[in-house]
C-alpha cells in the first residue's frame, strides 16, 4: 500500500508489461477456442456409454457454455486481459499527469538524474527511463479527461472551416462559451480541431476562445500539435505591421491562469525560435517597415512577460532555470529604447524567476535541525544567479552596441542591470511566498525601500563600465554585477535578521562596523562578512555576533563566509580584507 495518495511509475514498464502479459493471455484464449472447446465438444458428442456425466453434470451440454471448463476459462480470460490492458492505460495516465501542475507543485523531480520536466510534454512519446511521480488524484483527473470524449469533439467538428464568413463561427463559439471552464470539454475540443484550424479560431474567436484555451492549457493535456499551432498563430499575429491587440489578449488570458501559463512556458522553452520571437515581439527592429508600432508590440511583449511571471511559480525550479538559460541564449536584437519600454516587466519576471528557482529559505526549525540547510540553499542561490548571466550580457550588449554616450549608458544600465539584478530580493521573496523571520524588515515599507536604495549605493559604483563591444569585458562586468546582486541579497538577509540596522537619513549602523556610508565602508562590511572566524576573536565583533545568536545571526555569518568563499572572482568593489 502507498502513503497519502502518492503514486509513481515508469510508464514504459507498464506498457511493456501490458503488451507481454496481454499477449500471453491471448495465447491461452486462442488455445481454449481452437483446441479445448472443440475437444470438449467432440468428447461430449461421442461419449455416450462412458463419460457423459462429466460435463452434463455441471452445465448441460453446449460448447463453451458457462460451467463447462472451456466456458469458465473463456469467461475469466477477458477479465484478466482487461486487467493487463488497463495497466497500459495507467501508464498513459502517468504520462499525462507527469509534468503537469500536480507534479510540479509537489516539487518532486523525476528520479532519473536532473532531467528537466521540460522535455516531457503531455502525450509525448514515452521515454523508456522516465519515472513519473505524481499522486492518485492527478491520475484520476487525467482519467476523467481522457474518458470524456464526446461533446467537445462533436463541437470541434461542427465548425464549417470552408466558410470565409467569420460570422459562421458564432453559433459554435456560443456553445463553447457554455463549457469554457470545463477542462475535459475544452481539452477535447482543441485536441479535436482539424489540423491548421487552431490559428484561425484564435484570431477570430475572441475572449471565449482565449478563455477556453486557458482552461485547456491548465489541464496539461493539450496535444503538442495544438500547442504548436497556438504558438505559430501568435507569432504570425505579432508580425503584423499594425499593432494587433489580439495576441496580447490571448497571452493575458493564459497569464491569468498560472497553470495554463506554466504549460505554455514549458512548450516555449523547448522552441528557441518562438522564444526569440516572443521576446522580440514588436520590439524587433524592422526599420524597413515603419508600420511597426512600438506601443502595440510592447503590449504583446508585456503580456508575454506577464505570462512568464505568472508561470514560473508553478514550474519546477529546474524548468525555470532552463527557461532563463534558454532566454539568455535566444535574446532578440532589440534597441535600448525598446528594452527600456519593457524593463519593469522584465525586472518583475526575472525577480519572480529568481525566487522560483531558489525556492523558499529553509525554516528556522529546519536550520536548527540541519545547520547545513541554509548554506546549501545559499550556494544554490548563488549558482542560480549565474543562470541570469546570458540575459544580462545581452542587455548590456544592447546598450553598448547602440553606442550610447557613457552617461546615457550608465543611466540605462541603472535601469536595466541594476534594476534587474538588484531588486531580486524583496520581489523574489514575495514571489516565492517566503515567510522570512523578517523582524524589522517589512517588505515594501519605506524603510525597506530606503535600505535597498542605500545598498545599491553602497555596492554598485566601483564596477568598471566596459566600453566597446568587447564580449570578454561584458562578461566580466556581468559576472561582477551578478555577484554584487548576490551580495546585495545577503545584506538584505542580514538586515532582516537584525544584524545590521539602518537609520533614517541614509545612515547605516552595523554593530561595531564603521560607518558604511564612509569611503571605505563597503569594503569593511564585506571584509567582516568574509572573515567571521578571524574577527570573532575580536571582542567587539564577537559581541556583535553573539548578540545576534538568538536570531540565527552567527549561522548567517558562517553562511555568508561560505558563500563568499565558494564564489567566483570578485568585483573591483570586493573587500580588501578578510
Partner 1 sequence: MPPQGKVKYDFAAADELSRALNQLVDKIHWLNWYRDTRSSKYFDCGQQSWRGKNHDQFVRDLHAQRRALNALAEEAASLKSQVDDATAAATAKLSANHH
Residues of this chain that interact with partner 1 (CB under 8 A) are 1-2, 5-10, 13-14, 16-17, 20-21, 24-25, 27-28, 31-32, 35-36, 39-40, 42-43, 45-51, 54-55, 69, 72-73, 76, 79-80, 83-84, 86-87, 90, 93, 111, 131, 135-136, 139
In angstroms, give the least distance from the CB of 118 to partner 1.
21
Question: Quick one: residue 67, left, alpha or beta (phi over 0 = left, psi -120 to 50 = alpha)?
Answer: left
Q: Which among 232, 135, 220 is positioned nearest to 183, based on CA atoms?
A: 220
Tell the smallest beta-carbon distance from residue 135 to partner 1 (Å). Answer: 8
CB of 143 to partner 1, least distance (A): 9
Angle between helices 424-431 and 336-358 (to 10 degrees): 50
Distance between the two ends of the chain, CA-based, in angstroms?
A: 56
* Alpha-carbon torsion, ordered 184, 185, 191, 192, to 10 deg: 140
User: Rounded to an integer, what distance in angstroms lies between the CA atom of residue 304 and that of residue 17?
Assistant: 43
* DSSP-derived pairing of the beta strands 6-9 and 132-135: antiparallel
Buried b (16+ CB within 10 A) or exposed e, 479-495: bbbbbbbbbbbbbbbbb
Q: Which of 411, 564, 371 is nearest to 484 (CA)?
A: 564
Helix (H/G/I), strand (E/B), else coil: 418: helix
Question: Cβ 223 to partner 1, closest distance in Å?
Answer: 24
Nearer to partner 1, 18 or 297 (CB): 18
17/204 with CB nearer partner 1:
17
Q: How far is the CB of 383 from partner 1 (least distance, A)?
A: 25
Q: How far is the CB of 224 from partner 1 (least distance, A)?
A: 25
Residue 25 or 567: the one with the smaller Cβ distance to partner 1 is 25
CB of 320 to partner 1, least distance (A): 24
CB of 183 to partner 1, least distance (A): 21
- Find the helix packing angle between 183-192 and 151-158, rounded to 10°: 40
State the Cα–Cα distance between residues 540 and 452, nearest whole angstrom. Answer: 27
Task: Report in angstroms how near the CB of residue 432 gets to partner 1 at its nearest.
Answer: 28
Minimum Å distance from CB 122 to partner 1? 18
Q: Which CB atom, from 84 or from 257, has the smaller least distance to partner 1?
A: 84
Residue 62 or 69 with smaller CB distance to partner 1:
69
Contacts made by residues 546-553, CB under 8 angstroms, sequence distance 24+: 547/511, 548/497, 548/498, 548/499, 551/437, 551/439, 551/497, 551/498, 551/499, 552/364, 552/367, 552/437, 552/497, 553/497, 553/498, 553/499
Q: CA 513, CA 522: separation in Å to the nearest integer?
A: 10
Q: Which is nearer to partner 1, 111 or 170 (CB)?
A: 111
| Nearer to partner 1 (CB atom), residue 42 or residue 518 | 42
Nearest residue (CB) to partner 1, 113 versus 290: 113
Nearest CB to partner 1, comparing residues 67 and 291: 67
* Cβ distance to partner 1 smaller for residue 5 or 150: 5
Compute the distance between CA of residue 189 and CA of residue 185 in angstroms, rounded to an integer: 6
User: Please, which residues bridge with residue 503 across strands?
Assistant: 507
In this structure, are residues 564 and 529 in contact, taking their beta carbons and an 8 Å threshold? yes
By C-beta, is 45 or 154 nearer to partner 1? 45
> At closest approach, how far in Å is the CB of 133 from partner 1?
9
Nearer to partner 1, 30 or 515 (CB): 30
- Residue 117 to residues 82, 92, 309, 428, Cα–Cα distance (Å): 31, 16, 18, 22
User: Nearest distance from residue 476's CB to partner 1, in Å?
Assistant: 43
- Contact, 512 vs 541, CB < 8 A? yes
Residue 80 near residue 25 (C-beta atoms within 8 A): yes
Amino acid at each position: 500500500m502507498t502513503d497519502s495518495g502518492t503514486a509513481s511509475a515508469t510508464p514504459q514498464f507498464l506498457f511493456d508489461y501490458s503488451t507481454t502479459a496481454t499477449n500471453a493471455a491471448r495465447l491461452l484464449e486462442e488455445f481454449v477456442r481452437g483446441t479445448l472447446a472443440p475437444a470438449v465438444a467432440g468428447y461430449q458428442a461421442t461419449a455416450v456409454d462412458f463419460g457423459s456425466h462429466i460435463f452434463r453434470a455441471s452445465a448441460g451440454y453446449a460448447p463453451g457454455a458457462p460451467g463447462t471448463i472451456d466456458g469458465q476459462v473463456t469467461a475469466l480470460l477477458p477479465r484478466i486481459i482487461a486487467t493487463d490492458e488497463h495497466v497500459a492505460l495507467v501508464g498513459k495516465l502517468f504520462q499525462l499527469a507527469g509534468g503537469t501542475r500536480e507534479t510540479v507543485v509537489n516539487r518532486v523531480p523525476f528520479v532519473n538524474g536532473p532531467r528537466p520536466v521540460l522535455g516531457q510534454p503531455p502525450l509525448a512519446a514515452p521515454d523508456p527511463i522516465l519515472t513519473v511521480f505524481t499522486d492518485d488524484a492527478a491520475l484520476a483527473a487525467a482519467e476523467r479527461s481522457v474518458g470524456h470524449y464526446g461533446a467537445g469533439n462533436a463541437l470541434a467538428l461542427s465548425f464549417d472551416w470552408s466558410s470565409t464568413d467569420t460570422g459562421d463561427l458564432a453559433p459554435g463559439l456560443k456553445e463553447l462559451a457554455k463549457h469554457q471552464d470545463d477542462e475535459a470539454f475544452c481539452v477535447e475540443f482543441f485536441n479535436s480541431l482539424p489540423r491548421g484550424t487552431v490559428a484561425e479560431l484564435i484570431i477570430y474567436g475572441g475572449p471565449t476562445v482565449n478563455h477556453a484555451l486557458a482552461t485547456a492549457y491548465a489541464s496539461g493535456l493539450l496535444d503538442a500539435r495544438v500547442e504548436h499551432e497556438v504558438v505559430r498563430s501568435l507569432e504570425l499575429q505579432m508580425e503584423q505591421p499594425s499593432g494587433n491587440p489580439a495576441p496580447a489578449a490571448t497571452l493575458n488570458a493564459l497569464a491569468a491562469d498560472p497553470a495554463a501559463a506554466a504549460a505554455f512556458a514549458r512548450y516555449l522553452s523547448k522552441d528557441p525560435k518562438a522564444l526569440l520571437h516572443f521576446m522580440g515581439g514588436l520590439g524587433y527592429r524592422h526599420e524597413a517597415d515603419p508600420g511597426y508600432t512600438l506601443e502595440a508590440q510592447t503590449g504583446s511583449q508585456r503580456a508575454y512577460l506577464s505570462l512568464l511571471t505568472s508561470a514560473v511559480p508553478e514550474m519546477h525550479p529546474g524548468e525555470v532555470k532552463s527557461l532563463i538559460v534558454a532566454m539568455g541564449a535566444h535574446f532578440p536584437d532589440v534597441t535600448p529604447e525598446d528594452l527600456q519600454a519593457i524593463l519593469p516587466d522584465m525586472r518583475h519576471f526575472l525577480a519572480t524567476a529568481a525566487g522560483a528557482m531558489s525556492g523558499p529559505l529553509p525554516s528556522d526549525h529546519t536550520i536548527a535541525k540541519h545547520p547545513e540547510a541554509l548554506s546549501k540553499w545559499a550556494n544554490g542561490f548563488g549558482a542560480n544567479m549565474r543562470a541570469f548571466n546570458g540575459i544580462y550580457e545581452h542587455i548590456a550588449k544592447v546598450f553598448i552596441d547602440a553606442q550610447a554616450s557613457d552617461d546615457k549608458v550608465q543611466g540605462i544600465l541603472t535601469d536595466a542591470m541594476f534594476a534587474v539584478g538588484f531588486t531580486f530580493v524583496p520581489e523574489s521573496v514575495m514571489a516565492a511566498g517566503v515567510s522570512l523571520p523578517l523582524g524589522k524588515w517589512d517588505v515594501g515599507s519605506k524603510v525597506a525601500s530606503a535600505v535597498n536604495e542605500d545598498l545599491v549605493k553602497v555596492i554598485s559604483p566601483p564596477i568598471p563600465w566596459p566600453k566597446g563591444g568587447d564580449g570578454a569585458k561584458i562578461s566580466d562586468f556581468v559576472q561582477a554585477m551578478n555577484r554584487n546582486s548576490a551580495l546585495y541579497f545577503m545584506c538584505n538577509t542580514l538586515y532582516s535578521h537584525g544584524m545590521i540596522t539602518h537609520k533614517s537619513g541614509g545612515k547605516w549602523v552595523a554593530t561595531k562596523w564603521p560607518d558604511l556610508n564612509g569611503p571605505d565602508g563597503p569594503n569593511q562590511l564585506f571584509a567582516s562578512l568574509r572573515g567571521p572566524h578571524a574577527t570573532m576573536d575580536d571582542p567587539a565583533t564577537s559581541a556583535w555576533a553573539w548578540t545576534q545568536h538568538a536570531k540565527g545571526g552567527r549561522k548567517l555569518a558562517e553562511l555568508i563566509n561560505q558563500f563568499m568563499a565558494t564564489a567566483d572572482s570578485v568585483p573591483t568593489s570586493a573587500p580588501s580584507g578578510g
